Chains A and B, each alone.
Chain A
Amino acid sequence: MSVAQEMILMLPEIVLVVGACFVLLCPRFLAWPLTMLVLAGTVGAMVATAPENPTMLMTGMFERSSEIDLLRILICVVTVLILRYARGHPISPDRLQSNEFYTLAIFGCVGMFLISGAEHLITLYLGLEILALSLYPMIAMMRDDGRAGEVALKYFVLGALASGFLLYGMSLMYAVTGTLHIGELASQLEQLEMNRVLLLGMVFMLAGLAFKLGATPFHMWLPDVYDGASIPAVTYLSAAPKIAGLLLLLRLFSDGLMALAVDWTTLMMVLAVLSLLLGNLVAIAQTRIRRMLAYSAIAHTGFVFLALGAGTPHGMGSAVFYTFVYALMAAGSFGMLLLLNARVASEDIQDFKGLNHSHPWLAIMVLILMFSMAGVPLTAGFYAKLYVLQAVVDAGLWPLAVVAVLLTVVGAYYYLRIVWYMYFEEADRPAEPGEDSAHVFLVSANALILVFIFAVPQPWLEMSRDVARVFVGGQ
């Protein structure tokens, strides 16, 4: 393939990188429209250059396929949503609506794009680090806020440690197989006898990723970061990178290390059950909404690990669907939080009290989001859970399915609590949501799409299955 052809297929990434530079340098008032333009241009470039078949680029280091493009479009859409939500944040608009913030958000997308197409461990690592290096300053951006600085440091140190784990695991893989190319790695591993070095490498890689994704017992940073960072940064962190994390897992384990599936599925199951257990139980005790959502994120990560732990194409499809739905739910929840929080930075769960009396429409939207998180029908969250359960039962692991659903019931409690505060209680301090009607519209659309996905699930389910198919079996 000629260089020109490769450049055309890399156009989305090129648009992002060039656009990010322009956003950094442009006058302040142009930063926001330019960011939207860049993201829209990226989506446009992706649609315009979509290849018919999966194509290898850059001497086999990067793969472009139209199925994964769908997820990358989703990453862009979620990013746009989040950046728009972040504009509702009244505190420090000079920092959180600055050129730097938008530039970092776009570079985060570059990292996620690289992860999504990586066919080589180095590309994968590069993508992950670009993403992580965009997130650290984003969290630290509120530099006069002591807590933000503290959690940024915490996140940085643990993130660096996790990267170290991942790299060490990769190097062990390289030591045994002599290749960093994921496709070659997969075919090499199929011929190799299992040995301890491989096992060690695999465990290190999984631990590194579990750190990044916040699965128990590697979750310690997550509640602190969710609670301490500025909401716009947390919103960004909570939604789009989850999709990238899933792609990372799919690429590394379901594709590269498929030959070792017997070993990593067991480990993933352990991570899944621990995450579900800890996330759901500890979330009950939280009084601050962001900490609650953090533990809920851990529990949802548990569900994704459960799906992948099934070790089947079905399981991978369900993981994609689950993550897709979760990204929308997380974006919606934080978007709602930003809207409700336009007044002060206090985020006690009690602040939801009496919302139905003052803002019945917003209360219904929160109700949809919460029931979707709990996995109750009439919302997309139900299919997400159903699909995972189906994959898990299909793999013959029905006791795990039982454990998962029982913990879902535990989880339902803390989502219900928000609903009952809104509907059953009187407000101590009436919430004063922002008057930003575009924000209200976006959050409502964000919540209602979950109902729409419930009514018309087939295309999304097919999309998830197709995405999973790209990874199955290695290439």
Chain B
Amino acid sequence: MSLLGLMIWAPIAAGFAALLLKDPAVVRRWALAASLFVFVLAVVAALGFDPAGGYQWQYRVPWIPAFNIDYHLGVDGLSLPLVVLTAFIGMLAILTGWNTATRHIGQFFAAFLMLEGLLIGVFCAMDAALFYIFFEAMLIPMFLIIGVWGSENRVYAAVKFFLYTFLGSVLMLVAFVYLAIQSESFRITDWHAFSLSSLEQTWLFLALLLGFAVKVPMWPVHTWLPDAHVEAPAAGSVVLAAVLLKIGGYGLLRFCLPIAPDASLALDGLVIGLSLIAVVYIGFTALAQTDMKKLIAYSSIAHMGFVTLGLFILYRLATETAMLSVSGAIIQMISHGLVSAALFVCVGVLYDRRHSRNIQDYGGVLETMPIFGALFVFFALANAGLPGTSGFVGEVMVILATFQAGWWLAALAAMVVVLGAAYSLWMVRRVVFGPAEHAEVKAFQDLSGREMLILLALAIPVLAVGLWPVPLLDLIEPSVAQLIDQAQAFKAGGAP
């Protein structure tokens, strides 16, 4: 079995084993050990990765010859950072959910471990059918995580999450089936080189876009996200925000742009328009929220809108600048993964103490929780794109690139920074600062060792990427260059 295969199947197998374990303390340690093991493997994979070497750690065996489906795994510079992110967040999610479940503890950790394995599978799959299988199978554990361990309105949120994603993905399946029949292969790299008429591309593009837009989520198919985030347990929100949303962006990179370049060019206005709506309109929506989790959920939508903007603006740019914007979008995905996860952990920390997500129920948290307050403010600033944090790097790259496409686009895109600063800082001002008025807040205990460990573990990469993004950029740039070539290799004879 290959390294990547081990990273996929080890947590899934560990999850099954967790179902059989009875003692809660043993289950927790077992889950943590399994996710730590996966993270170590991810680090090994990253260390052995040569940025200029294209797809690596490949493993390929024929699986279903009747459909031309292979069990084919591999990572390139686009997927490797997301794999590492998934393994990292998977580990922290287990720590976040340490005491969440009061019953069916084995099932709780089993769901998270399986989810982690399936998510890594999504990023490693080089066969579209395999990708789809992981993409959809992942709905099952997430559905259960939201529904079983969520808060009051969890059933509604879980079902909405499942049906929205399922709706997007089945149309994607039809697109995949069409491509497979035309090209007689399910290999994603074969599809990249396969030429299609512009009409075909348009339909395929729309089907794929719908599938991934639900995941990103883009306006107007974003409405499942606030519900899912609010109802999910903190650990579920962490994985949802940090990794699940990235699948949407990754799918656009891996499928939409290289497979349907003509349609991407023709319809880039649509995506850019939707992205700007997300940035501006959803940014204002976030400002109006009184529920912290909802606020961060809307902030996620706005930030992901910024990512899709960075990806699709490339057709309006020279190649050099296109590199800048696509790399910036990818860095923004990673950064958002870390920062939003940290913010959800922070809300989880507060929720554990007060059992409320309402901003009004807090105030003056700094008085009783100075360390937590400092970290919360730090992550809120990272969310707003403070220089020195990872949030800044991606945002500045995309905004700089966008300037070339038009100053007004850049001005609208820059709203993400303005609004991000507004809602993030306003939230911490109301929660962390000011006098502590509520008696419950006055009785707060500061961070436990476990909580501190999670937040510090997240703060390190946020700072590292913010201060010294070059290693990460070196890692992704060769793949981004190749992607831009593919995205501009027009298949139907349309001129750029």
List the B side residues contacting A401 at CB < 8 Å: 174, 177
**What is the total number of residues of chain A having a CB less than 8 Å from a CB of chain B?**
36
Cβ-defined contact, B140 with A390, below 8 A:
no
Cβ-defined contact, B154 with A377, below 8 A:
no
Interface residues of B in 126-180 (CB under 8 A from A): 129, 132-134, 136-137, 139-140, 143-144, 147-148, 154-155, 158-159, 162-163, 166-167, 170-171, 173-174, 177-178, 180
List the B side residues contacting A383 at CB < 8 Å: 64
Q: Pick from B107, B134, B178: contact of A360, CB below 8 A.
A: B107
Q: How far is the CB of B346 from chain A (nearest CB, A)?
A: 27
Cβ-defined contact, A390 with B147, below 8 A:
no
> Is A423 part of the contact surface with B, judged by Cβ < 8 Å?
yes
> Is A324 part of the contact surface with B, judged by Cβ < 8 Å?
no
Interface residues of B in 357-384 (CB under 8 A from A): none
Assuming the contacts A420-B147, A461-B67, asked whether A378 and B140 have C-beta atoms less than 8 A apart, the reply is: yes
Q: Give the nearest-CB partner of B159 in chain A.
A: A416
> Is A194 part of the contact surface with B, judged by Cβ < 8 Å?
no
Cβ-defined contact, B167 with A406, below 8 A:
yes
Cβ-defined contact, B66 with A465, below 8 A:
yes
Cβ-defined contact, A405 with B171, below 8 A:
yes
List the A side residues contacting B19 at CB < 8 Å: 360
Q: Pick from A360, A377, A409, A457: contact of B167, CB below 8 A.
A: A409
> Is B60 part of the contact surface with A, judged by Cβ < 8 Å?
no
List the B side residues contacting A376 at CB < 8 Å: 136-137, 139-140, 166
Cβ-defined contact, B177 with A386, below 8 A:
yes
Q: Pick from A412, A424, A461: contact of B166, CB below 8 A.
A: A412
Cβ-defined contact, A409 with B178, below 8 A:
no
**Residue interface bits A364-408, CB-to-B below 8 A is 1, else 0:** 000100010000111000110011011001100010011001101
**Assembly CA distance A55 to B158 (angstroms):** 55
> Is B471 part of the contact surface with A, judged by Cβ < 8 Å?
no
Cβ-defined contact, B158 with A424, below 8 A:
yes
Assuming the contacts A408-B170, A461-B66, A461-B67, asked whether A390 and B177 have C-beta atoms less than 8 A apart, the reply is: yes
List the B side residues contacting A461 at CB < 8 Å: 64, 66-67
**Assembly CA distance A145 to B139 (angstroms):** 43
List the A side residues contacting B64 at CB < 8 Å: 383, 457-458, 461
List the B side residues contacting A190 at CB < 8 Å: none
Q: How far is the CB of B210 from chain A (nearest CB, A)?
A: 11
> Is B181 part of the contact surface with A, judged by Cβ < 8 Å?
yes
> Is A265 part of the contact surface with B, judged by Cβ < 8 Å?
no
> Is B353 part of the contact surface with A, judged by Cβ < 8 Å?
no
> Is A462 part of the contact surface with B, judged by Cβ < 8 Å?
yes
**Assembly CA distance A255 to B484 (angstroms):** 51
Cβ-defined contact, B178 with A393, below 8 A:
yes
> Is A356 part of the contact surface with B, judged by Cβ < 8 Å?
yes
Q: Pick from B133, B158, B167, B174: contact of A393, CB below 8 A.
A: B174
List the A side residues contacting B139 at CB < 8 Å: 376
Cβ-defined contact, B170 with A409, below 8 A:
yes
Assuming the contacts A389-B174, A420-B147, A457-B64, asked whether A394 and B159 have C-beta atoms less than 8 A apart, the reply is: no
> Is A413 part of the contact surface with B, judged by Cβ < 8 Å?
yes
Cβ-defined contact, B180 with A423, below 8 A:
no
Which of B154, B162, B163 has the most chain A CB atoms closer than 10 A to its own CB?
Answer: B162
Q: How far is the CB of A413 from chain B (nearest CB, A)?
A: 6
Q: How far is the CB of A398 from chain B (nearest CB, A)?
A: 6
> Is B104 part of the contact surface with A, judged by Cβ < 8 Å?
yes
List the B side residues contacting A371 at CB < 8 Å: 140
List the B side residues contacting A425 at CB < 8 Å: 155
Which of A377, A398, A408, A409 has the most chain B CB atoms closer than 10 A to its own CB?
Answer: A377
**Residue interface bits B100-142, CB-to-A below 8 A is 1, else 0:** 0001100100000000000000000000010011101101100
List the B side residues contacting A409 at CB < 8 Å: 163, 166-167, 170
List the B side residues contacting A377 at CB < 8 Å: 132-134, 136-137
> Is B48 part of the contact surface with A, judged by Cβ < 8 Å?
no
List the B side residues contacting A390 at CB < 8 Å: 67, 177, 180-181
> Is B65 part of the contact surface with A, judged by Cβ < 8 Å?
yes
Q: Give the nearest-CB partner of B135 in chain A.
A: A377
Assuming the contacts A356-B104, A377-B137, A420-B158, asked whether A398 and B170 have C-beta atoms less than 8 A apart, the reply is: no
Q: How far is the CB of B71 from chain A (nearest CB, A)?
A: 10
Assuming the contacts A393-B177, A409-B163, A412-B162, asked whether A382 and B133 have C-beta atoms less than 8 A apart, the reply is: yes
Q: Pick from A356, A389, A413: contact of B173, CB below 8 A.
A: A389
Q: Pick from B67, B134, B147: contact of A424, CB below 8 A.
A: B147
Q: How far is the CB of B159 from chain A (nearest CB, A)?
A: 6
Interface residues of A in 408-446 (CB under 8 A from B): 408-409, 412-413, 416, 419-420, 423-425
**Assembly CA distance A378 to B134 (angstroms):** 9
Which of A409, A413, A457 has the most chain B CB atoms closer than 10 A to its own CB?
Answer: A409
Q: How far is the CB of A469 from chain B (nearest CB, A)?
A: 13
Cβ-defined contact, A413 with B163, below 8 A:
yes
Assuming the contacts A377-B137, A378-B133, A390-B180, asked whether A405 and B174 have C-beta atoms less than 8 A apart, the reply is: yes
Q: Give the nearest-CB partner of A356 in chain B.
A: B104
**Assembly CA distance A382 to B19 (angstroms):** 25
Cβ-defined contact, A405 with B173, below 8 A:
yes
Cβ-defined contact, A402 with B136, below 8 A:
no
**Assembly CA distance A393 to B180 (angstroms):** 10
**Assembly CA distance A425 to B170 (angstroms):** 28
Assuming the contacts A390-B67, A402-B171, A458-B64, asked whether A413 and B147 have C-beta atoms less than 8 A apart, the reply is: no
**Assembly CA distance A393 to B136 (angstroms):** 21
Assuming the contacts A360-B104, A420-B155, asked whether A458 and B66 have C-beta atoms less than 8 A apart, the reply is: yes
List the B side residues contacting A408 at CB < 8 Å: 170
Cβ-defined contact, B174 with A402, below 8 A:
yes
Q: How far is the CB of B156 from chain A (nearest CB, A)?
A: 10
Q: Give the nearest-CB partner of B12 in chain A.
A: A378
Q: How far is the CB of B475 from chain A (nearest CB, A)?
A: 30
Cβ-defined contact, B173 with A386, below 8 A:
yes
Cβ-defined contact, B170 with A406, below 8 A:
yes
List the A side residues contacting B167 at CB < 8 Å: 406, 409
Q: How far is the CB of B491 from chain A (nearest CB, A)?
A: 20
List the A side residues contacting B166 at CB < 8 Å: 376, 409, 412
List the A side residues contacting B162 at CB < 8 Å: 412, 416
Q: Pick from B66, B143, B144, B174: contact of A398, CB below 8 A.
A: B174
**Assembly CA distance A287 to B155 (angstroms):** 18
Q: How far is the CB of A375 from chain B (nearest CB, A)?
A: 9
Q: How far is the CB of A283 from chain B (nearest CB, A)?
A: 15
Q: Give the nearest-CB partner of B147 in chain A.
A: A424
**Assembly CA distance A415 to B64 (angstroms):** 27
Cβ-defined contact, B66 with A462, below 8 A:
yes
**Assembly CA distance A412 to B165 (angstroms):** 12
Q: How far is the CB of B147 from chain A (nearest CB, A)?
A: 4
**Assembly CA distance A389 to B143 (angstroms):** 25
List the B side residues contacting A378 at CB < 8 Å: 133, 137, 140
**Assembly CA distance A398 to B27 (angstroms):** 47
Q: How far is the CB of B238 from chain A (nearest CB, A)?
A: 21
**Assembly CA distance A413 to B167 (angstroms):** 11
**Assembly CA distance A377 to B66 (angstroms):** 17
List the B side residues contacting A386 at CB < 8 Å: 67, 129, 173, 177
13 sample A-B contacts, Cβ–Cβ < 8 Å, listed by A number: A360-B19, A376-B139, A378-B140, A382-B133, A386-B173, A386-B177, A387-B67, A390-B67, A390-B180, A405-B174, A406-B171, A419-B143, A420-B159
Q: A378-B140, A416-B163 known; 6 other A-B pairs, CB under 8 Å? A: A389-B173, A390-B177, A398-B178, A408-B170, A423-B147, A458-B65
Residues of A within 8 A of B (CB): 356-357, 360, 367, 371, 376-378, 382-383, 386-387, 389-390, 393-394, 398, 401-402, 405-406, 408-409, 412-413, 416, 419-420, 423-425, 457-458, 461-462, 465
Interface pairs A-B: 5 shortest CB-CB = A405-B170, A377-B133, A461-B66, A424-B147, A377-B137
